[in-house]
Amino acid sequence: MTDLDVTECLQLQLSEVEMLQSMFPSENEFCVDDPSVISDAQSYTDGDTTELPHQISFTLKIHVDDPKCDVEILCQFPLHYPSELPELFARSDILSRQPQKQLNDDLLEHVTSLERGEICIGEAIQWIQDNIAKYVTYSPDAGASSDAFGRTNSKKSKSEENTFSRLWIHSHHIYSKFKRKDILDLGNDSGSLTGFCLPGKPGIICVEGPKDETEDLWARIRRWNWKKISCKHREDIPLKDGDEERTFDELRKFEGFEEKEFDVRGGPGREYHMDLGLFYKFLEQKQCGFVFKLLLGVEGKFASDP
C-alpha cells in the first residue's frame, strides 16, 4: 500500500475528476454533488487555505451496449483516497435487488484487489461495462449447492435454522450516506432481520434474526472500508430450550430495521454525535441497557443524570 499525504491525495482526486469530466462531458453523465468542494480542494492544494475540504462525491451515468442499459455509479472519495478505497455504489433499473447487491459486492472485491495509491474509478467503470451482463441474468438456484456464478452455497445447518442471534456492532464512525443506505438495504433485504443503525461517531449497528442471516450481514459489512469496526457482543438463543420452544418473533427486541437518531450534535468537519443519554434510555426501554457498557466502555446514564 502506498501512503500519500493529504495534499498529494487531493491533487490526484482533482486530476481524476478533471479526467472524468472530459470522458463524460454531458451534465446528465457526470454530476458533482457539491461543486464548491472542488474549489475548496483546489485552494487547499494551492496553499491558499489550511482548512481541509469536505469529501468529493459525484454521480456517473454510463451507457452499456450489451445488454443495453444505463448504470448509475455513486462515488465518494475519502480524504486519503487513493491511499484508501473509494466508496462506490452501482445501480441500474435493469437489475433487481439481489443481483444489484451481488454486483456491488463483487465490484468492491475487484477494487480492493487493485493497487492502493493509484486512481481507480476508470478501472471500476471498465469492470462494470465488462461484467454487467452476468448480473442481468443472475438467477441463484434456491436450495441448490451453487449459484449463477458457480460459487458454493452450503445449506443451513440445523443449529443455524433453530438459533436466534443478536449482534452488536461498533464502528469508529458511520458518516457516509452510501454506507448508511447500504446498511439499511442489507437489514431490510431478507425481511427476516430487525434492528437498527445509529450513525455518527461512534456508529452502532444491532441486527437480530436467524443466525445465518445475521452472520451474512456482518460478513458483508465488515468487508467495507472502515477505520475500525468490530462485533462487540453477540447473543445466540436456541429456539428450543428443554421443553420450552419459542419463535424468532417472540425473541425480537426491535420491529423492522431502521436508522435511529437521538438529538444530533455537530462537531468539526463532517463529524456529528448522538445524545448517548437518550441512546441509553432507548436501550433500557428495549431491555438491552446492559450492552451500553459493552459497546462504549462506560456505564450508561440517562440524559438527566448528573
161-258 CATH choice from 2.40.128.20, 3.10.129.10, 3.40.190.290, 3.30.70.100: 3.30.70.100
Tens-digit pLDDT profile for residues 3-15: 579 999 999 999 9
Tens-digit pLDDT profile for residues 228-267: 888 889 999 999 877 788 999 999 999 999 999 998 776 6
Q: Locate the domains of the chain by residue range.
A: 6-136, 161-258
Strand duo 272-273 + 265-266: pairing: antiparallel
What is the CATH code of the structural domain delimited by 6-136?
A: 3.10.110.10
Q: In this prediction, what percent of the chain has a pLDDT beyond 90?
A: 44
Tens-digit pLDDT profile for residues 59-96: 999 988 878 889 999 898 988 999 988 988 898 888 88
Strand partners, 207: 167, 195
